[in-house]
Structure 1
Amino acid sequence: MAEHSLRAEGISATLDLAVGHIADLTIALDGRTLQPLHRAPWIDTPDLPAGLPAGQARLSGDFLCAPFSSSDVEEAPLHGWPANSAWELLSDEPFDGGRRASFRLQRKVMGATVKKTLVLRDGHPFLYQEHSFTGGAGAISAAHHPITEMRDGGRLAFSPKRLAATPDGAPEPDPVRGESLLAYPARSTDLTRFPTANGRTIDLTCYSASLRHEDFVTLVEAFHGGMGWTAVARAAEQDVVLVLKNPSEFPVTMLWISNGGRYYAPWNGRSGVLGIEDGRTVLGHAASLGDNWLKREGVETTFPLGGTVTFRQIIGALPSESGEAPSLVAGAEGKLRLSFADGTSRMVPFDDGFLRIGTST
């Protein structure tokens, strides 16, 4: 399959052009080589289940979902054509001390032309991404879909969240096919005490390597005026994975917890995957367009089409042996600062203007 790679000092990224997924992100920092994104072990293996969407057959790293989940307005596979069909390279050129590459989806979404721009900067341990929709009609839900591997679990931390909620139905209700741990539907304003199906609670900030389950929960951003962030301190990998957003563009962060809770192919009970999916959406395009629980919370669930709409996201990673997630992540004056509960902090080069905090789409 065709791929396109770009590189800057200390970082490289590769896009799978068949489906628009980030096939690899490699960061060299402090004498370490970090690979924060997961790539499904079944890619390019024979005998995948018939009818499996291309985006699942080639599941990698991060990709654009448009719409998120079911394509039940305009016919397309799960997560839409941007996650399941070909992209073409438009340009790859030096840019502001690094590289910038642009790509165009070869299909249209609701009549809109979709572009992807990837930026790497020398010495920055981050992949900067922008997507744009030009033209079209109606509205589209959208989300990013970063996936990180959690071989031995880890700790999670977030920018302030208003609440966490599960949808009406569990991802795996049939015990023959899999198992889910959380209660459905349920909600909590305390991420460390989320209801489970057995009447207890679980800490959503802890990814346990020993609990076998398949779950999905949506975190709604609080009104704090700053950057939205998720930090994942991975135990086995000894790093902190960062996913950063502008909450005015992506007001929710959805966690896909896939730790051996799907028994059927191609998952086959494989463990240790976490999706950190920032979006403007609920489950399904039609549901996002209509009345839904997030709209009743005052949260937008689609982007209007017709002109040009753009949104941005950042993925990165830093070495860390403490196993602790930061208590605060903030950008200023060309740096990103991670502050920890023990009083220590870490600063790295960062484009603090990229996410356009204080503006809206």
Structure 2
Amino acid sequence: MSDGNFHTIEAKGVRATLDLRGGHVRVFAVTRDGRAVEPLHTAPWIDDKAIVEDESIDANLRFLSGDFFCAPFSTSDIEVTTLHGWPANSPWKLVDVTALPEGGQTARYELVKRVQGARLVKEFTVRDGHPFLYERHVFIGGEGDIPVANHAMTRFDGGGRLSFSPKRYGTTPATAIESDPSQGRSLLAYPARFTDLTKAPRADGTTADLTTYPFGSKHEDFLSLVEEPSNPLGWAAAVRPDKRDIFLSLKSPADYPITMMWFSNGGRDYQPWNGRHIGVLGLEEGRTYGGHGHKASIAPNPWQEEGIPTFLSLDPAGEVDVRNVLGGLALPEGWTRVASIEARGSELVLTDEGGASLAVPYDAAFLTRGA
């Protein structure tokens, strides 16, 4: 389906719609065993004509939904663009759609603008019976280094539980993302570094449990989790009991060594937020120096000294790509929190903290590039 602004691909049991105006995933829907799951978030102003047509507001805010690709991630202070770069703020065009022999579709989209001289292709794949959206972003040509990330979001109307593949540590940036009380509020301590996700330092001297949403109210906070590089699969799982579903974010740690958490829970009072962006969590997989911006990510920095890649190097004579996978599953009866996730052959196996397991069809070769 395509109506000029949106394009949809689908396979048996899964559907994804891309907003071509800014490259945001507007819909990711999975139907399995009679249950429908739509785990991604869409901003409450997305149909507010006054905001959507106000070009003084960045496109990545006007069209804020689901998941989008950032290049650069955060502040664009080298090539002059807006926050998160052209891929999150400018139009994409459909290139082609290919039917898969085993059932499903791959769609390719190209960013209208260039990123540091590179053509950027967004490749989405859905497969029959797979509760996943396989995403690949390909830079063709171009020059220089750039921090990149995908920016997935889910929302908790009734609270939820979070779990992750093993992390080396968590860290907040030097300053809070909302430090002016007339504009908004942040609750965590900045800067801070911690290893226990249930005891992240708060500014008031107490701690926050990052494995339970929410940990506070009326706040905006941001932090980075550094992946344990030996992990064969990087993952984040958000259990939403009231929706009876699980949102999954999957990656190769070699592509994306960082998982960033953006807690957007009514902590911004200015337009277009106006205190109404509530219960939202960004689970953002990145190759970036957190939220420090383009210059800081490609310059020598403390994470690079620890062996953590913070940028992607473009190839003027070839192409480079990064990959991630989004998933949506119905929450099995009695499940409380995902304890582990493993890729086993042609299946992804999830285990609950109570010991029960669930296996679903999965293309493990996608993230490993067939290795």
Same fold? TM cut 0.5: yes
Q: Which amino acid aligns with 2:285?
A: D
User: Would you say the 8 A contact 2:341–2:350 is kept in 1?
Assistant: yes
Give the Cα–Cα distance (whole angstroms) in 2 for the partners of residues 278 and 286 of structure 1: 19
- Partner residue, 2:240: 234
- Partner residue, 2:61: 56
Q: Deviations over 1:117-145 (max 9, x none)?
A: 10000011000010100111111110000
Q: After superposition, where does 1:34-183 map in structure 2 within 5 Å? A: 34-48=37-51, 51-95=56-100, 96-183=102-189
Q: Deviations over 1:46-94 (max 9, x none)?
A: 3336621111100010010000001100011110000001111111121
Q: After superposition, where does 1:339-358 map in structure 2 within 5 Å? A: 339-356=351-368
Give the Cα–Cα distance (whole angstroms) in 1 for the partners of residues 139 and 217 of structure 2: 40
Q: Aligned to 1:99, what secondary structure does the other structure show?
A: strand
Match of 1:335 among 325, 347, 352: 347
Q: Does 1:27 align with 2:30?
A: yes
Give the Cα–Cα distance (whole angstroms) in 2 for the partners of residues 209 and 199 of structure 1: 14
Give the Cα–Cα distance (whole angstroms) in 2 for the partners of residues 244 and 293 of structure 1: 26
User: Gaps spanning 5+ residues in structure 1: where?
Assistant: none
Match of 2:336 among 295, 318, 324: 324
Give the Cα–Cα distance (whole angstroms) in 2 for the partners of residues 317 and 215 of structure 1: 25
Match of 2:299 among 273, 283, 290: 290
Q: Aligned to 2:243, what secondary structure does the other structure show?
A: coil
User: Would you say the 8 A contact 1:155–1:206 is kept in 2?
Assistant: yes
Q: Does 1:223 align with 2:223?
A: no
Q: Which amino acid aligns with 1:75?
A: V
Q: Which amino acid aligns with 1:280?
A: R
Q: CA RMSD in A?
A: 1.5
Of 6-15 and 221-230, the range deviating more from structure 2: 221-230
Q: Which amino acid aligns with 1:227?
A: L
- Partner residue, 1:272: 279
Q: Does 1:311 align with 2:322?
A: yes
Q: Aligned to 1:355, what secondary structure does the other structure show?
A: helix
Q: Does 1:12 align with 2:15?
A: yes
User: Would you say the 8 A contact 1:227–1:357 is kept in 2?
Assistant: no
Q: Which amino acid aligns with 2:152?
A: P
Q: Deviations over 1:259-280 (max 9, x none)?
A: 1111222112121100000000
| TM-score calculated relative to the size of structure 2 | 0.94
- In 2 relative to 1, CA 322–269 (structure 1 residues): closer, same or farther, beyond 3 Å? farther
Of 127-136 and 47-56, the range deviating more from structure 2: 47-56
User: Gaps spanning 5+ residues in structure 2: where?
Assistant: none
Q: Deviations over 1:159-190 (max 9, x none)?
A: 00000000001011111211111000001011
Q: Which amino acid aligns with 1:273?
A: V
Give the Cα–Cα distance (whole angstroms) in 2 for the partners of residues 209 and 28 of structure 1: 31
Q: Aligned to 2:50, what secondary structure does the other structure show?
A: coil
Q: Which amino acid aligns with 1:10?
A: G
Q: Aligned to 1:287, what secondary structure does the other structure show?
A: helix
| TM-score calculated relative to the size of structure 1 | 0.96
Give the Cα–Cα distance (whole angstroms) in 2 for the partners of residues 322 and 267 of structure 1: 36
User: Would you say the 8 A contact 2:335–2:354 is kept in 1?
Assistant: no
User: Would you say the 8 A contact 2:236–2:248 is kept in 1?
Assistant: yes
